[in-house]
Amino acid sequence: MMNQLFQQVRVLDPIAPIDRTDRVTDVLVIDGVIEEVSPTTQLPTDLTIIPAQDLILAPGLVDLYSHSGTPGHEERETIESLLLAAQAGGFVSVNILPDTLPALDRASSIISLDREYRQIVAHIPNCPQLGYWGALTEGAAGKAMTELAELATAQITGWADGHAISNLALTRRLLEYLQPFKLPIALYACDRQLRGDGIARKGIAAIEYGLPVDPVSSETAALAATIEIIADIGTPVHLMRMSTRRGVELIAAAKQRGVPITASTTWLHLIANTSSLKNYDPNFKLDPPLGTADDQLALIEGIKTGVLDAIAIDHHAYTYEEKTVAFGEAPPGAIGLELALPLLWQHLVVSGQLSAIKLWAALSTNPAQCLHQAAPTRSILFDPQQTWAVTSDRLNSLGHNTAWLGQEIIGKVNCEYSLTTFLASK
- Angle, CA 260 vertex, CA 188 and CA 146 arms, to 5°: 45
Residues annotated as part of the active site: 314
Among residues 312, 422, 411, 330, which one has the least CA distance to residue 378? 422
Q: Write the secondary structure of 392-409 as one string of H (helix), E (strand) and C (coil).
A: CCCCCCCCCCCCCCCCEE
- Helix, strand, or coil here: 212? coil
Measure CA of the first residue to CA of the last residue in the chain; give whole Å.
26
| Distance, CA of 118 to CA of 124 (rounded, Å) | 10
Among residues 346, 286, 279, which one has the least CA distance to residue 313? 286
What's the sign of the alpha-carbon dihedral 62, 64, 67, 70?
Answer: positive
> Residue 55 — φ and ψ, nearest 5°?
-100, 155
Evaluate whether 188 touches 241 at the Cβ level (below 8 Å): yes
